[in-house]
């Protein structure tokens, strides 16, 4: 005959998963309120004037630099 090995009071993982899922749902609701709630409760359309025309800029001039000289191969015997 086969014996069953069971823990007393077993099956607590369902409660843990329910608490985890509930906490995740609350966190998503709070984030959604911060993201979307402020848009919904705004007092109407707002006029925003943004100027994106920037003045033309030139790159700075680099000073003239002599290229490094590379010594030729040495002729040692």
Domains in the chain: boundaries: 15-41
pLDDT at 8: 64
If you average pLDDT over residues 7-22, what whole number do you get? 77
CA-based max dimension of the chain: 95
If you average pLDDT over residues 63-67, what whole number do you get? 90
pLDDT at 1: 59
Q: Smallest Cα–Cα separation from 40: which of 29, 32, 48?
A: 32
- Residue 73 has phi, psi (to 5 degrees) of -65, 145
| Cα distances (angstroms) measured from residue 25 to each of 28, 35, 53, 56 | 5, 15, 45, 50
Compute the distance between CA of residue 33 and CA of residue 12 in angstroms, rounded to an integer: 32
């Amino acid at each position: 005959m086969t014996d069953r090995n069971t823990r007393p009071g077993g099956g607590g993982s369902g409660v843990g998963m329910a608490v985890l899922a509930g906490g995740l749902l609350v966190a998503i609701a709070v984030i959604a309120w911060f993201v979307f709630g402020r848009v919904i409760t705004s007092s109407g359309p707002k006029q925003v004037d943004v100027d994106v025309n920037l003045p033309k800029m030139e790159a700075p001039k680099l000073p003239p630099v002599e290229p490094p000289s590379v010594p030729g191969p040495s002729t040692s015997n």
